Structure 1
Amino acid sequence: MVLLQLDPFLNELTSMFERSTKIGSVWVTLKRSSLQSNLQKTKQKTAGEGIEFRCLIRATDGKKTISTSVGAKDHMRFQASYATILKAHMIALKKRERKEKKKAVETDKKDAGVKKPRKV
């Protein structure tokens, strides 16, 4: 596993998605981590220091595993870039046709609610 900076991680993640377009999958996991051992954490707690937690992100396609760590300052920029990459590579998913179903239900309700005029 390779710990990369944010931009190289996003570039490598993009290439993983491109390699697995036809066949394969990419697994991305996100986890809270301080990137310290338990001994270091207990020393900081006893000293009264606060522990800075980061988001550890790992991605694998089965052949190669990459990871990065995102701090609180960079999470908004990373979130936007990650969302863009996901949107660009989710072309295989079927789009929902919710609008047509919603229109059909509304017209059925209108037809059921309209009373027929009486002949006098």
Structure 2
Amino acid sequence: MVNLQPDPFLNELTGMFERTTETGSVWVTLKRSSLKSKVQRNKMTTAGEPIEYRCLIRATDGKKKISTSVGAKDHQRFQASYATILKAHMTALKKRERKDKKKAAEGLKKVGGENKKPKRV
């Protein structure tokens, strides 16, 4: 996995989206990380030092894996650029079929009336 700075990561992510336009997918995961092992974190908490958490972002298209780490100071700028890239490249999404609420309610009434058993006298 290639660990990049935030700007080259965004450029490479754009390239991944463009390569997989016709076929394929891009998986992006984000998670909070301190980039330290559990032993190091335990030592820091016992010493009273605050732990600086970062956002770890990973992306893969199945062939190539890239990642970056973003601190709290750069997070707003990175998130804005990332959102722009996602909006530009999510064109292959299918639109959701919306059902008219009135027609759905009428359909339920009709189905409910037909399935009733005749009353016994």
Aligned to 2:41: 41
- Whether 1:86 and 2:91 are equivalent positions in the alignment is no
Aligned to 1:73: 73
Where does the alignment leave 5 or more consecutive residues of structure 1 unmatched?
106-120
Following TM superposition, by how much is the alpha carbon of 1:57 offset from its aligned partner in structure 2, in angstroms?
Answer: 0.3
Following TM superposition, by how much is the alpha carbon of 1:2 offset from its aligned partner in structure 2, in angstroms?
Answer: 1.0
- Whether 1:21 and 2:21 are equivalent positions in the alignment is yes
Query: Which structure 1 residue ranges, 4+ long, deviate > 6 Å from structure 2?
Result: none
Where does the alignment leave 5 or more consecutive residues of structure 2 unmatched?
104-121
Task: Give the SS at the match of 1:36.
Answer: coil
Aligned to 2:63: 63
Cα distance between partner residues in 2 of 1:55 and 1:68: 8
State the Cα RMSD in Å: 1.8
Cα distance between partner residues in 1 of 2:64 and 2:97: 36
Following TM superposition, by how much is the alpha carbon of 1:93 offset from its aligned partner in structure 2, in angstroms?
Answer: 1.7
TM-score (norm 2): 0.78
